[in-house]
Structure 1
Amino acid sequence: MTKHTFAICAYGDSPYLEACMKSLVSQSVKTNIILCTSTPSQYIEKLAAQYKIPVYVRQGESDIQDDWNFAYDKADSPLVTIAHQDDMYGKDYVKTLLKYYGKYPDMTLFTTDYVTVKERDLKGKKLVEWVKVILRLPLRNPKWNHFTWVKKAALMFGNSICCPACTYQKKILGDHLFQSEFRYTLDWDTLLSLAERRGRFICVERPLIYYRVHSGATTKKWIQNNKRSEEELAMFAKFWPKPAVQALEYFYKKAYGAYE
């Protein structure tokens, strides 16, 4: 049985989908790859056939949480990475993942550092990204990273964990992983839920994913209609009293500049 699966979530006809597929089939350690979509098209079918990736179609209206759960559930392996169609993975992502899985079988979450790729420029880390690195520091220590308070500490000042960099251990967590009341911050909310369960969060501070920011990204659309801000306030309220929530949201909005 394959230990790991990349489950690509494809929506529409992304011009970046092929680059994502190339990065997955080029892993230094071969792994299983599937593609799941609620918006089937000839474009998706053709690319998937080219790279010999099986396609699974979810019936019904497109929804991020439903689409992610469908992809996660379709993966037939203990470890599952929900691969976002616009992003690319470093060739040693799976190799590194399996190394830590073998060392820490109680690992429920594996994640890494990432490089932000923009449409017009490829700049170095911004301040907000360095802050996230600092927040993830306790997760690098195997003496601590199984404690609930340590896992939650990485989430208290915002979501310091890059969603597409995450792999989940399905063998421990079970099916239908995403059960959030939110739409934009469902990854942050899910991580909080996982932090409260038994299991270890492993973070490798090596950039093994290239996270693409572009004008068509869902994140930018949510910023423009203020839905992101509303949900983030609700998430901060799960950790902090109201005065602290307002202060944190003010500084957290500085991160929105990455999409401008």
Structure 2
Amino acid sequence: MPKVTAMVVSYNHERFISECLASIEQQNFDDLEVICVDDGSSDASPKIAHEFDAMDVMVYEKPNGGPSDAFNYGIERASGDILMMISADDTMLPGSIAARVNALEDPDVDIVCGLPTWIGADSRDLPPSDYPDIFLPFELSPEAMFQRLFFEGNFISAPTIAMRRAIHHETGPFDQRFEQLQDYDYWLRAAALGKKFFCIDRPLVGYRWHGGNLSTSNSERSEAELSEVRKAALQHADQIFLSKVLYESEEMCLQAGLSHEEIASLLMIKHRSQILSNLGRQQLQKLLENNERKEVLRNEFLI
């Protein structure tokens, strides 16, 4: 049985942290390490977390650095073979850890996720009309995964994720530049590197929807980060991978001799985001200063 590290990140979650930690302690999984990282809370969150010391919850307090910094901090101190991460305002449903560990027994699976049950501040299930229907089951290749993430946005519930430590090492740490979209950036990066996702078609966590969520309180910042995240993600994939994303085939890319930068520009141009599309056009324009390349692209792709 592999050892699991469940990492909880808390920032001013005094209302919810006890429920979160209790839900993890009730998982009935033998080899479980629980790490709670308090990211500079100004409320009673650290004090409440320390009430779980007797149940072997390791609590670390650090200055505020944002979610990416806090998760990276926890991962550096984790000793588990399998890593799971959750915000202190969410909860784990019964059997959540075991279901993910079982799914990771498949050697072809790199990262496991599942579905959430949406809950309110009072921990009651929310009616479907109260939340966006964005977390749905899927079965996708890494290329199709990247394509859907890139063009449609995030559809993976972060607190349902589980991955082997080795996969995290290959994918790298959470990018501290992104305060809200660090998970979206991570999924894009992992897919770009060819990591295989597997979605468990049942709820694994209680995902809390309330006014204090970063995603609901900083929507303007989120929009500003999106183009940067998507543009950066293209640099993690190789030329053949991106050609499969763009054309679902590498043949057209090979026949035309398209470079990595040209394919990345075309993907950005195709995006419905005007900001990203314009960035792609600007990037392609610079590449087309070479008249020979300009003629190739015009003939092959009607640009």
Provide TM-score, normalisation by structure 2.
0.68
Deviation at 1:150, TM superposition (A): 2.4
Measured at CA, do residues 227 and 132 of structure 1 come closer, stay the same or move farther in structure 2, by a change above 3 Å? same
Aligned to 1:257: none
- TM superposition shift of 1:240: 4.1
For the residues of structure 1 that align with 2:16 and 2:69, how far apart are their CA atoms? 22
Q: Work out the number of aligned pairs and report it.
A: 235
State which of 116, 119, 122 in structure 2 corresponds to 1:117.
119
Bigger-Rg structure (1/2):
2
Task: Give, in angstroms, the shift of residue 13 of structure 1.
Answer: 4.5
Of 32, 38, 56, the match for 2:60: 56
Partner of 2:17: 17
Counterpart CA distance in 2 for 1:38 and 1:11 is: 5
Q: Which runs of 5+ in 1 are unaligned?
A: 140-146, 249-260
Counterpart secondary structure, 1:137: coil
Cα distance, 1:124–1:153 mapped onto 2, change above 3 Å: farther
Residues 43-97 of structure 1: CA distance to partner in whole angstroms, max 9, x if unpaired?
2453232543111233x44222111101122111121111210001111111111
By relative contact order (CA 8 Å, sep 6+), the higher-ranking structure is 1
Cα distance in 2 for residues equivalent to 1:241 and 1:65:
29
Provide Cα deviations, 1:171-198, integer angstroms capped at 9, x if missing partner. 2331852136422111101110000123
Alpha-carbon separation, structure 2, partners of 1:174 and 1:243? 30
Q: Distance in 1 between matches of 2:53 and 2:143?
A: 45
Residues 22/39 of structure 1: CA separation in 2 closer, same or farther (3 Å cut): same
| Corresponding letter in the other structure for 1:165 | T
What amino acid is aligned across from residue 111 of structure 1 in structure 2? C
Letter of the 1:208 partner, please give it: L
Q: Point out the structure with the larger helix share.
A: 2
Q: 1:74 is aligned with what amino acid?
A: R
| Unaligned residue ranges in structure 2 (runs of 5+) | 235-266, 277-303
Who is 1:203 aligned against? 199
Taking the aligned partners of 2:195 and 2:49, their CA distance within structure 1 comes to: 37
Structure 1 equivalent of residue 4 of structure 2: 4
- Work out the percentage of aligned pairs sharing the same amino acid: 19
| Alignment partners' CA distance in 2, 1:39 and 1:183 | 15
Distance 2:16 2:166 in 1: 31
TM-score by length of 1: 0.78
C-alpha separation between the residues in 2 aligned to 1:107 and 1:61?
34
1-structure distance, mates of 2:130, 2:40: 37
C-alpha spacing 1:25/1:192, structure 2 compared with 1 (3 Å)? same
1:159-238 equivalences in 2 (<5 Å): 159-174=154-169, 177-179=173-175, 181-223=177-219, 226-235=220-229
Helix, strand or coil: the match of 2:128?
Answer: coil
- Residue 32 of structure 1 and its aligned partner are, at CA, apart by 1.9
For 1:209-239, what per-residue CA distance to the aligned partner results, in whole angstroms no more than 9, with x for missing partners? Answer: 100011222222212xx10121224445665
In structure 1, the partner of 2:142 is 148
| Structure-2 change in CA distance of 1:243 and 1:26 (3 Å) | closer
